[in-house]
Amino acid sequence: MTSLFTSHRVGGLTLPNRVVMAPMTRVRAAAGGLATPSMAAYYAQRATAGLIVSEGVQPSVIGQSNPGTPGLHTDEQVAAWRPVTAAVHANGGRIFAQLMHGGRVSHHDTTGLQPVGPSAVPAVGDVFTATGPQPAPTPRALDLAEVPDHAHSYARAAGRAVEAGFDGVELHGANGYLISQFLSSNANLRTDRYGGPIAHRIRFAVEAVTATVEAVGGDRTGIRLSPGGTFWGVEEADVLELYTALLSELAPLDLAYVHLEATLDEESLVALRRAWPGTLIMNPVLPMGPKQTGKDSADHWLGLGADLISFGRAFLANPDLVERLRAGLPIAPVDEATYFQGGDAGYLTYSTFPYAA
């Protein structure tokens, strides 16, 4: 069976192992969406991962979901990211930027703008703002003429990501954010070419990915998907048919990878693995669910045909996660109270395994 510790080719990169650091929001960016020296240290500490996927990075002002998150839509942001990517590369790592347009999962208090979405349907739940959680506002439905520009915002940010030294980008098409909203059958009530039947609901995702491939190449482009996921209240009709159609449209683009979350039953996920001809990253557990990805679930999915396995929370408290997995060492627990509090505590303060002298 394929091992977590054998190499694998992704786009133009040879990964030394099949362990991927999943994208995780940490809200440690400086004002103006700027990456910081602490962020450089954080990612560099975890550079033994076969591939790092960064936290969600907004491709535009209106695309920002949470306060304290970084962007890739200004020259200053590009300059701030360069020391981060340089630090990862200096430590022998590889890093993709996750491009995340929040769509309706945002707030005027965060961006100064009314959030937008495929339809004027609010997300379910409270969104984060600088003054605390607030009910998700009703977004402004995008005009038909505006939609392509938002699809192309991913491509513009991808160009800036490459300029900033990233090895590639992952479009965040999961978890109830903008691409996911267009795929949805309850967040997307449009009756034009972007809504209704499956061929229309996948159009925004396909256009965003196609534009990104045209900007930076398929070998530098991946996408994350959460088929059947219900984050922020999204629902999807005909899930397996929807994602099979989407993967069929994406296949000719020769992407670096598709990154699936375990938001659907295993049989259906295996069917999607078979429908995708390229590299598949599998996140074997429900994001933010009760379980964390471990060696057993990773090996299970490698046996089912996944090429790479993404680990989320385990990477927060274990910067040396790859070596711990390789040697069968204990996985340290994460302090959940420090997820989003800012500062270096619970960010840079986790240590490698304390070997005896």
Q: Active-site residue numbers?
A: 177
Best CA proximity match to 79, nearest among 193, 201, 166, 164: 164
Best CA proximity match to 194, nearest among 162, 150, 241, 147: 147
Q: Are 253 and 278 in contact (CB under 8 A)?
A: no
Q: Are 38 and 347 in contact (CB under 8 A)?
A: yes
Q: Which residue is it, tokens 């430590």?
A: 91
Distance separating alpha carbons of residues 5 and 18, to the nearest angstrom: 6
Tell me the residue type at 102: G
Tell me the residue type at 319: P
Q: Which residue is it, tokens 């680990």?
A: 311
Kindly report the length of the chain: 357
Distance separating alpha carbons of residues 110 and 65, to the nearest angstrom: 8
Neighbours of 85 (CB within 10 A): 25
Distance separating alpha carbons of residues 204 and 181, to the nearest angstrom: 10
Q: Are 50 and 94 in contact (CB under 8 A)?
A: yes
